Each structure stands twice: as C-alpha cells, then as structure tokens.
C-alpha cells in the first residue's frame, strides 16, 4: 500500500503502437496541470521488475509540484495482463487512457517498425503478411506473433475495464484524434479533471513518418549493431554503450541515408494485395465487432 504523501502516477497512456499516443503525450506534457516524463516508462513490464524497489521508481517524481497530476506513457502496457496487475497492485485507482487504431493500418506500421529495429526480416510486406498469418516466422523472429496479436483489442481492453473499472478508462480512436485534435484533447482534459481551456503548442504537429522503403531499411538496419544490444531471447534490445567507432559508424550510415537513400527512394506507403487485405479483414472482423460493442464506439469504418 502506498503512502498518500508520496507523489505517484495517477494516469497512464497505453494502446496501439503508432496510434497518436506520442501526440497525446506531447500535448499533456505541455499542460500546466500535468507532469509526465519525456521518455516512455517500462518499469511495470520490466522482466527484472521484482529486483527494482518501488521506492526507486517513485524517486523520479519527488520534486513534482503537488499541484500537478502525474502521468506515464507506455503503449505496450495494454497487451500485458501481468503489467496491468502490477499497476493495480501498486497504484490502485489510476485512470487509463487507451488509444486504438484501425488494426490493419496498425499492422502495416508495426511491420515496418519491427523491420527497422531488427525484429522482422526486411522484405516486401505482401510477402511478410502470409507468413505472419501462418506463423512461420516465430522461431527465427520470436516477436513476429505480436504484430497480429497487438491489432486485436477486445480481450486487452476488457481486462483493463474489469480491473480498473469502466469509469476510470477512456478509449480514443486515432482516426478521431486526427480528424479533430481539440475535441479529443478536451475529452482527455475532462476525463483527467484538468483545465480544458489550455491550447497545446503541439496541436499543429504531425507524427513522424514511418520508413517504408525496403532499400532504405536494408541499409539502415546495418547500423543497429552499433546502436543496440540485443538480449539472448531476440525479443528485447537496449541502447548500447557507444565507443568512438560506434558513433562514427552511426553518423556515416545516418548521413548516407539522409543525403542519398532518402532522395533516391520514395517513401510511399505500400498497398496491400487484394488477397492479403481480404485475409486480414477476415482475421480482425470478429474482434472489431466485440471491441465496438465493449467500448460503445462505432468501428464500422474499420470493417
């Protein structure tokens, strides 16, 4: 049980990858009534969670003004029941902001994100998708099953609703955030009980574009060994200590990409084949229906 005198997080931003969670994060950091760390906080899903004292985690909030509410962003928390249980055990009555995205669009972005960071082979997405559906990549690429699993929302959201109570959860669609940023932000402000007259300086910002060019990705992943250390299970990475040689190689690869590759290769979002689109729609249809009913938001445009 927490001491009530301690500054502790009172809300979390979780949800789908590449679903405007970074936009929300920036806008909330900008709000005078809120404090949020600029980085994502992985504490509650860390495999070494039980070796890190909770008081050490709380130290980062010691200097936060008592007039501010504290929030944490970590989209992947949505997909772990163990993580949800840890949050509930430590923090009790927190509020949960859940952002979801069209599952097929999310899957496409996730594929290229995983390629970029070495968790999926760099290849034509229309070749990758059948392999994901048939689960033939999971031995060599153990994180590949996440790509489809993380586009299904019903079970994850239902678990959070039951654990934290429906009234303490707010679900937003990425589509709605893009269509009307102010309206959706005001929903968040009202949900958190803070001043909704604030106009964030980040309202006009757009998300950073994914890299879709296969030649560029094949070149850029050559630099991963200089930037990251991969764990033995091939499921995690961490920023490595970089010696002078690492730093030089990173700058060379980044520079070549910026000067040449980004100019030569267009960064156009790929179109899925009709067969792949049909298979994915069938794969996600039931989950979309269940999720829509659960959150009481129409998802007809996703079908």
Tens of pLDDT, residues 8-45: 999 999 998 778 888 999 999 999 999 999 999 899 99
* Mean pLDDT estimate for the chain: 92
pTM for this entry: 0.90
Q: Is the domain of 229 the same as that of 249?
A: yes
Model pLDDT, residue 301: 93
Model pLDDT, residue 20: 85
| Mean pLDDT, residues 238-249 | 92
Q: Helix 274-295 vs helix 125-133: angle between axes, to the nearest 10 degrees?
A: 60
Residue 95 lies in a domain: yes
Q: Is the domain of 267 the same as that of 228?
A: yes
Residue 74 lies in a domain: yes
- Residue 3 clears pLDDT 60, i.e. is over it: no
| Mean pLDDT, residues 108-126 | 95
Residue 4 lies in a domain: no
Q: How many domains does the chain have?
A: 2
The CATH number covering residue 50 comes to 3.40.50.300
Q: Is the domain of 165 the same as that of 231?
A: no
pLDDT band at 162 (very low <50, low <70, confident <90, very high): very high
| Domain encompassing residue 220 | 104-149+208-292
């Amino acid at each position: 049980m927490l001491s009530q005198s301690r500054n502790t997080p009172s809300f979390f931003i979780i949800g789908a990858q590449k679903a405007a969670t970074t936009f929300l994060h920036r806008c909330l950091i900008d709000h005078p009534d809120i404090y949020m760390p600029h980085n994502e906080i992985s504490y509650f899903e860390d495999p070494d969670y039980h070796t890190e004292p909770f008081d050490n985690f709380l130290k980062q909030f010691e200097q936060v003004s008592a007039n501010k509410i504290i929030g944490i962003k970590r989209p992947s928390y949505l997909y772990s029941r163990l993580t949800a249980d840890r949050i509930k055990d430590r923090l009790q009555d927190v509020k949960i902001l859940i952002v979801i995205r069209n599952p097929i669009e999310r899957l496409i972005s996730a594929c290229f994100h995983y390629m970029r960071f070495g968790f999926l082979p760099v290849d034509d997405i229309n070749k990758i998708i059948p392999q994901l559906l048939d689960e033939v990549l999971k031995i060599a690429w153990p994180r590949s099953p996440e790509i489809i699993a993380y586009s299904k929302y019903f079970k994850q959201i239902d678990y959070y609703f039951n654990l934290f109570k429906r009234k303490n959860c707010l679900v937003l669609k990425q589509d709605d955030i893009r269509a009307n940023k102010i309206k959706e932000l005001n929903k968040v402000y009202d949900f958190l009980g803070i001043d909704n007259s604030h106009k964030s300086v980040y309202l006009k910002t757009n998300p950073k574009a994914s890299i879709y060019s296969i030649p560029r990705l094949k070149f850029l992943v050559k630099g991963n060994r200089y930037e990251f250390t991969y764990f033995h299970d091939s499921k995690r990475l961490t920023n490595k200590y970089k010696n002078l040689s690492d730093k030089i190689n990173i700058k060379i690869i980044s520079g070549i990409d910026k000067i040449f590759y980004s100019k030569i290769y267009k960064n156009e979002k790929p179109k899925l084949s009709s067969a792949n689109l049909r298979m994915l729609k069938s794969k996600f249809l039931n989950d979309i229906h269940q999720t829509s009913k659960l959150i009481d938001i129409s998802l007809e445009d996703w079908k």
